[in-house]
C-alpha cells in the first residue's frame, strides 16, 4: 500500500469519526432539548394548576368573608331592633373607648 493511499484512508477514517461524533453530539443535544422542553411544560402545568387552586381558594375565602359580614350585619340589626337602648349605650361606650385610645396616641 502506498503512502498516498494510507494518508487517504486515515483522512477518510478521521472524517468518519468526525461525522459519527457530530451525529452523536446532535442526538445528545436533541435529547437534552426534549428533556428541557418536557420540564418546562411540566413546570407551566404545575404553575397553572397552582394558580387555579389559589384563585379558587381566594374566591372561597371572599365568599366566606361576605357571608360572615352579612351574618354580622343581620345580628347587629336584630340586636338594635330588639334592644335599642343597650345598642345605643354600647355605641356610646365604644365611642368613648376609641376616643380615649386616640387621645392616648397623641
What is the structure's pLDDT at 106? 61
Structure pTM?
Answer: 0.51
Number of domains the chain contains:
1
Tens-place pLDDT, residues 17-57: 999 999 999 999 999 999 999 999 999 999 999 999 999 99
Residues in the chain: 106
Q: Structural domain of residue 84, as residue ranges?
A: 3-105
SS3 sequence of 65-103? HHHHHHHHHHHHHHHHHHCHHHHHHHHHHHHHHHHHHHH
Amino acid at each position: 500500500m502506498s503512502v498516498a493511499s494510507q494518508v487517504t484512508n486515515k483522512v477518510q477514517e478521521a472524517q468518519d469519526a468526525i461525522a459519527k461524533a457530530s451525529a452523536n453530539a446532535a442526538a445528545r443535544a436533541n435529547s437534552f432539548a426534549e428533556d428541557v422542553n418536557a420540564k418546562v411544560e411540566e413546570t407551566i402545568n404545575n404553575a397553572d394548576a397552582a394558580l387555579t387552586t389559589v384563585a379558587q381558594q381566594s374566591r372561597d375565602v371572599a365568599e366566606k368573608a361576605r357571608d360572615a359580614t352579612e351574618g354580622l350585619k343581620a345580628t347587629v340589626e336584630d340586636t338594635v331592633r330588639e334592644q335599642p337602648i343597650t345598642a345605643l349605650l354600647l355605641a356610646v361606650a365604644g365611642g368613648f373607648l376609641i376616643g380615649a385610645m386616640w387621645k392616648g396616641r397623641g
